Structure 1
Amino acid sequence: MADEMVKKVQQWLNINYMGKVGYNEIEENGITSWETIYGLTRALQIELGIEQTSDNFGPTTRSLFKPLSIDSNPSEDDLSLEANSIRQQIGIIQGALWCKGYNPGGFTGYFGEGTKASIIELQTDAGLTNCDGVVDVTIMRALLSMDAFRLLEYRVDADKKIQEIQQAINRDYSSNKYFNDDLGLIPCDGIYGRNTNKGLIYAIQIEEGIDEPTGFVGPQTRESFPFLQVGSENNFVKLLQYALYCNGYDPTGFTGYFGIHTKLAVTNFQKFVALDVDGYVGKQTWASLVTSTGDPDRKGTCCDTSDTITDEIANDISAKGYTTIGRYLTGKYAMKPSEFKLIIDHGFNVVPIYEVYGYEAEWFTEANGERDALHAVIAAKTIGIPEGTTIYFGVDCDVNEDDISSRVIPYFEAVQATFETLDNCYEIGVYAPRYACSRLYALGYTPTSFVCDMSSGFAANLGYPLPKNWAFDQIAENNYTVGGTKYALDNNIASGLDTGCDHVQDFDLENVSTIIDILGFNVTEYEKTTTVFSSDAIKISVRNALEEQISGNYATININDGEVREISGVTLASALEKLELTLSADANIELKKTLLSFGNCDLKVAAEVDATTGEIKIKIEQVKSKTINKKAINVSKMMIITIDKDKLEDYVEEVVKSAVEDLIELIEKILVLVVLAIAFFLIVAYAPIEAIISIVLTLIVLFK
């Protein structure tokens, strides 16, 4: 909702600073936003004489700003540049107060009792004890931020006790130089977020006596975590109680004494995160309370990898104590059916992960959710993943609240809707940072979560508790070598909420029989181009997809009862007669048998010639319908034939060479497309080199 005083602040900024170097015009809409805060910040920097202004309240701004108070007002007759700058700075303070919801009593550039009272109110809300109404650099920095220092009552997750923790951390630790330089004051809005988590870590490090605390848990911090138990009483216990409450476990007070209620909160937390449940607080419990990774050296029973599992690697993984392996369904790291069977045969359970472009927030749209859901189901079925298994869709990037609301949630709505059309043959899970997992679970889209806690720097992990529905918690990546083969393995903690699948369920998507399958090129992976034959002169690749792959300029070949009847409406009787004359009796029989095996179908054929290299690329596609769990889908199988005409010449006589040269001019003719396609089918009857020569000789007959 627009606020009239905020609008006046925006107008004042534009009137006073428009045209000055370093200031950017802001919208006058009465709504406090980062744009307005940046405008106030740049205005202050201009008053401080900073030539290279920025949106940040950085070290230079902090070093140049001098405290302002009710005693800072210049006399009315002082019209010096310095006096005018002080009045402007006071105006900036008053403008920032209005934007933060505090009423300084006016917008005058004069530091009066109303302004002082508002500053005291802010200091009190921030938890400070020395509430004197003086705007020092810490208060100025807090003013020029979007941090709130009042409980956000409109947020359902705002918690008065979290606010008490935030205020206590500011009161007891914000005067530390390293804390203050980094954070200034942490917000006191009742929301456990990134800066509250960081402030808590600073507090622990300060209590540990670390000379230069950082707000991040490193080896020194982990080694200095104190051991606590019932009867302990000190500031560490109070910080423990803060951490427990922030993770959803109420110790029933922040007393600094480790009593039975604190122990109960500790044991409940340990049970939830799958630690040894003993009620003692050691290094692992501390780490799990304040960092997303917890103890990175903690041993899990689940792992995941992007590397292909071989017998040797499977044995090595088993020797390390793992019982469950996560593998990708598609993409360049895709698990093949044979690999899946090998993993199962070695006694592992398998957790299927689907990710194509999950590392980009822009990928998450409704359309891509529908697409990915269908592709994931097809891939899972062709690999042999049993129905009922949870497929984890990857959100492998740092997503903020807006990304989650506007991108990730609509994506998973589409995934869920698509799964429903497929009779919910698989369960939906998510691989994502903590906050994304929790939001999706709360909305009912993902019963289980695979948490990418290893990305400890993600904003969506910092300051967010482990999701209630976590099944796997990814905490560390390790690299191993076995038998000279290197492979990477992510270490995951398992909660037991999901165990993956433990057997192969045969599925006959191969029944979608196309010319490519009949020719013996059995490729089951989707959205991946697989080379099935390669020589110096010719390469053959196959690509499967769930939508048509050839568009634009192409010809359609109609095959009926073992005969090629027409191409794009043009009959081919004379062309086929010429083709038959070039072949032996046995070859003609093989050609007829092959065409009969294709049944009645339409093929798309397209060709292109590289103007620079002369390389010829021919694409042959067949689309067939397949019903999966009552949903009809189109399965496209495409064969790509790439011919290097220069190298092809080495295989044939001089007369053949000249014919190939002529092909460049003739390739655009529709007839060439079908002849190439039909001639290529002879590969089932000839060895590769003979088939190549057959193609070229056929062209000579047709165009000489």
Structure 2
Amino acid sequence: MADEMVRLAQRFVNTTYNNGATLGISKLNENGVTGWPTMYALTRALQYEMGITSLSDSFGPATLSAIGEKYGKLDETTIPSANFCRIIQSALYCKGYDGGEIDGTYNSRVKAAVTKLNADMGLSAAYPGSVLWPKAVKGLFNMDAYVTVSNGSGAIRSIQQWLNGRYILRKDFYVIPCDGHHSRTVSQSMLYAVQYELGMADGVANGIFGPGTRSGLAEHTLTEGSSGTWTQLFSAAMILNGRSAVSFTSSFGSALAGETAAFQTFVNLPITGKGDFPTWASLLVSYGDQNRRGEACDGITKVTPARAATLKAEGIKYVGRYLLNPSTTSLPEKEIQPGELQTIADHGLRCFPIYQTYGRDAAGFNYPSGNADGFAAVNAAERHGFKSGARIFFAVDFDAYDYEVTDSILPYFKGIEDAIAISGNSYRVGVYGPRNVCIRVSEAGHATASFVSDMSSGFSGNYGYPLPPNWAYDQIVTRTLGTGDAAINVDHDIASGRDIGEGSFNAPRTDGPDTAFSMGYYQVLNSNIGSYMQSIGFADEDGNRIFTHTECLETVLAQDSLITDLSRQYNMRKSLIQTSTYWEMRHYDLIDQAVDHAVAYYHTGIGGGMTPVRDSSTGIAQISGDVGIRAWNYGIEKGFVSGTVLDPAKDADIWTMWQRVNQDKAYAVKTVSLIHLWDAGGKPGGSNPPGGETVMRTMSLNYTQFEIFQILRRYQGWGNEAEEHATKRMALYQIFEKYNALSRM
């Protein structure tokens, strides 16, 4: 909601500093809404008024030091100028306090606002009255709130204020928000507080859970009857970890002991009811006590009989292994290897499947990629022999910010959920990732259990978030277990028992050459593809598109004998040919039809009433004369096919090829396979991205997910639209592949 005084503050910056030019920024939008652009502008204005020449958005050490060195404190006796005061008044309004009339006077209203600000920060004892000390000024010039917001907790706000008041005079401790919400900043302030209470000097205390902090905490076990600051810190840590029944207290009574035991039960620690080191560690850092021995592990190394014996001897019960490896050049044992699941079962272990391709940033997460990964995971799980009901943990292996969870991760998991449903709900969905990702995906109903990447303690999604209520595995440390041939490097995981993996498996499915499609799967294939296409906006019948879903599918299946032959001849999965053909035919619309008429008019002169067009993508696979010629020429050159080389610069040759791919369905399908081979060869002579397409690995039945994506993307071309369409085609590919694989059995 717009605030008139914030609008006046923005206008003050614009009018005083040449619409921001003096400060090195753009003119502020005078919208009356506090935001980072306004706070950055005020920070720069403050620096400018202090004579700092290198202006910055950051209220950093130089700005903080300059206030202390120049003025010591800010009040009516030290404010150096009217504009300096107006900046303070403007910042107060942006924080929700009464800054007076923005008139350059540190008057009674400003004093009252500063007194209230100091109180809200918890600094009244350290900074009494209406004086602004440097650290409070730093806290004024950011977006932190010092009153509860968005249903913040009063208990957490009390903790935040207590931390500020107790430690603000320490060199490296700065004002933290008092908004009633746990956060990364609050978590780190707790570590500083622990280190200060351990007696660490300024400059030694660093907010890191290092050896000194660990050894110090080991000497501060709390029991019933304990009291004082350490108990306050412990009760605060319990509250910040979601133990809502705990009171912020300095007395360790029976109620706190009971809640401590409950917390220990939840995180699977020895139940002592004491504030011992393992409990301190679990409260203060995501990975907790890394000397714990868990019952689970996950890794990228094949579990051989010798390694299985090592895991068994170490007390491991559950082993996480990957369904796919997206690379052909690295981590050769990342994907479950032939015979490995049987080895795991024979040694009395259980396996929980993990699905991860890349997933290192938000760009790869969206609804279509979730669809594709959901179908791919089902196929891979069935291929390896996981029985119906197994839970697959889908990985988010990066520090996703909360807005990225909203914008990217949740749609991705909705895509997975829908793909699993279309596939018959044969598998359950789990989520692997930082705490916030796991919590939000699970709360949205997209996952039934969490595998928490707590080893990454510095992730913003772990810092300041409790362990998810549905956690199944808690990843805490990497270890090498065993020696010699029995050695295996794993990530050690604590297991809660919410997921117990799988202990028996179906026979793995062989991935040999494709065979004829078994028409017994027609109805379910039709239903699966129809449901998927509708989920991405393709109604079964659309007045703009020429062909229905069923017409497209039946056209593809009518060419099954040819497609099977092409697959065997070129060592190419049928699903690639089927996907490209179906996708393009399904997209053929009235505009494409009109352009086709314009091409015929260009070459024959028959028609009229339209602008002639030399070439277009046409026919059931939307192939242009130019692309068809180049793909066939490549195939002839490489010996894939025989025929006459045509010249794409000649109208007659364009027209010849255009008519073939427009009118002859079998010829168009064969051309699809040649385009895929041409794509894999780097599309020589074609329209390529800057530098040209790379030459891929020779066409193979065991192409990785990445290679399949590249082939599907290159069929359409290069650029954002091609990338987006390829992501959607990946799901279609996986549906075709599922039933082609069943037909191969």
- Report the TM-score when normalising by structure 1: 0.72
1:311 equivalent to 2:308? Answer no
The one-letter code of the counterpart of 2:431 is V
1:341 CA displacement: 2.3
1:113 equivalent to 2:103? Answer no
What residue number does 1:167 align with? 161
1:87 to 82, 87, 95: 82
What residue number does 2:373 align with? 372
Contact 1:22 1:46 in 2 (8 A): no
The one-letter code of the counterpart of 1:72 is T
Unaligned 5+ residue runs, structure 1?
75-82, 517-539, 558-566, 569-574, 580-600, 624-630, 639-704
Q: 2: CA distance between counterparts of 1:237 and 1:546? A: 64
Relative distance call for 1:501 and 1:131 in structure 2 (3 A) is same
The one-letter code of the counterpart of 2:257 is K
1:72 equivalent to 2:77? Answer yes
Q: 1: CA distance between counterparts of 2:699 and 2:435? A: 45
Relative distance call for 1:400 and 1:22 in structure 2 (3 A) is same
What residue number does 1:667 align with? none
Q: 1: CA distance between counterparts of 2:574 and 2:452? A: 31
What residue number does 1:35 align with? 37
Alignment partner of 2:319: what SS?
strand
1:243 equivalent to 2:237? Answer yes
Contact 1:512 1:635 in 2 (8 A): no
Alignment partner of 2:302: what SS?
coil
1:632 CA displacement: 9.4
The one-letter code of the counterpart of 1:209 is G
Matches for 1:330-479 after TM superposition, within 5 Å: 330-331=324-325, 332=327, 333-479=334-480
Q: 1: CA distance between counterparts of 2:458 and 2:441? A: 21
1:635 CA displacement: 1.8
Q: Deviations over 1:342-365 (max 9, x none)?
A: 222222111111111222112111
Q: 1: CA distance between counterparts of 2:388 and 2:24? A: 60
Relative distance call for 1:547 and 1:248 in structure 2 (3 A) is farther
Q: 2: CA distance between counterparts of 1:141 and 1:254? A: 28
Relative distance call for 1:3 and 1:309 in structure 2 (3 A) is same
1:506 CA displacement: 3.7
1:95 CA displacement: 1.0
1:292 CA displacement: 0.2
1:144 equivalent to 2:212? Answer no
Q: 1: CA distance between counterparts of 2:47 and 2:178? A: 26
1:555 CA displacement: 13
Contact 1:69 1:111 in 2 (8 A): no
What residue number does 1:605 align with? 673
1:548 CA displacement: 5.4
What residue number does 1:8 align with? 8
Contact 1:621 1:637 in 2 (8 A): no
Unaligned 5+ residue runs, structure 2?
328-333, 518-569, 585-616, 622-630, 633-638, 644-667, 686-694, 703-707, 709-732, 741-745
Alpha carbon RMSD of aligned pairs, Å? Answer: 3.6
The one-letter code of the counterpart of 1:187 is P
Q: Deviations over 1:572-618 (max 9, x none)?
A: xxx99x99xxxxxxxxxxxxxxxxxxxxx976532446879xx9997
1:305 CA displacement: 0.3
Q: Deviations over 1:395-452 (max 9, x none)?
A: 1111111111111111111211222222211111100111111112222221210000
Contact 2:310 2:482 in 1 (8 A): no
What residue number does 1:202 align with? 192
Q: Deviations over 1:642-675 (max 9, x none)?
A: xxxxxxxxxxxxxxxxxxxxxxxxxxxxxxxxxx
Q: 1: CA distance between counterparts of 2:426 and 2:696? A: 43
What residue number does 2:260 align with? 266
Q: 1: CA distance between counterparts of 2:696 and 2:433? A: 44
Contact 1:544 1:637 in 2 (8 A): no
1:219 equivalent to 2:220? Answer no
1:281 CA displacement: 1.9
1:621 CA displacement: 8.4
1:187 equivalent to 2:177? Answer yes
Relative distance call for 1:471 and 1:231 in structure 2 (3 A) is same
Q: Deviations over 1:56-115 (max 9, x none)?
A: 1111111111355442377xxxxxxxx5xx322211111111111111222112111111
602-611 or 11-20, which deviates more: 602-611
Q: Deviations over 1:312-370 (max 9, x none)?
A: 32222222221111011112422134222222222211111111122211211111111
1:550 CA displacement: 6.8
Q: 2: CA distance between counterparts of 1:501 and 1:264? A: 35
1:301 CA displacement: 0.7
1:261 CA displacement: 0.6
**Structure number having the greater strand percentage:** 1
Relative distance call for 1:632 and 1:372 in structure 2 (3 A) is closer
Q: Deviations over 1:488-527 (max 9, x none)?
A: 31010001111111110247575983389xxxxxxxxxxx
Relative distance call for 1:493 and 1:55 in structure 2 (3 A) is same
Contact 1:392 1:431 in 2 (8 A): yes
Contact 1:22 1:52 in 2 (8 A): no
Q: 2: CA distance between counterparts of 1:106 and 1:602? A: 76
The one-letter code of the counterpart of 1:221 is T
Relative distance call for 1:250 and 1:265 in structure 2 (3 A) is farther
1:374 CA displacement: 0.7
Contact 1:547 1:635 in 2 (8 A): no
Relative distance call for 1:493 and 1:619 in structure 2 (3 A) is closer
Larger radius of gyration: 1
Q: 1: CA distance between counterparts of 2:575 and 2:489? A: 29
Contact 1:337 1:382 in 2 (8 A): no
Q: Deviations over 1:184-224 (max 9, x none)?
A: 11110000111111111111111111222112211110111
1:123 to 118, 121, 144: 118
1:479 CA displacement: 3.5
Equivalent pairs counted in the alignment come to 554
Contact 2:310 2:486 in 1 (8 A): no
Q: Deviations over 1:96-155 (max 9, x none)?
A: 111111112221121111111111111111111233111111111001111100011xx2
1:134 equivalent to 2:124? Answer no
Alignment partner of 1:475: what SS?
strand
Contact 1:377 1:426 in 2 (8 A): yes
Alignment partner of 2:735: what SS?
strand
1:96 equivalent to 2:91? Answer yes
What residue number does 1:523 align with? none
Q: 2: CA distance between counterparts of 1:205 and 1:616? A: 55
Identity of aligned residues (%): 34
The one-letter code of the counterpart of 1:10 is Q
1:279 equivalent to 2:273? Answer yes
The one-letter code of the counterpart of 2:109 is G
Alignment partner of 1:478: what SS?
strand
What residue number does 1:322 align with? 316
Contact 2:324 2:356 in 1 (8 A): yes
The one-letter code of the counterpart of 1:270 is Q
Q: Deviations over 1:225-254 (max 9, x none)?
A: 111111112210111111111212256533
Alignment partner of 1:635: what SS?
helix
1:230 equivalent to 2:224? Answer yes
Matches for 1:594-633 after TM superposition, within 5 Å: 604-606=672-674, 607-608=677-678, 619=699, 633=735
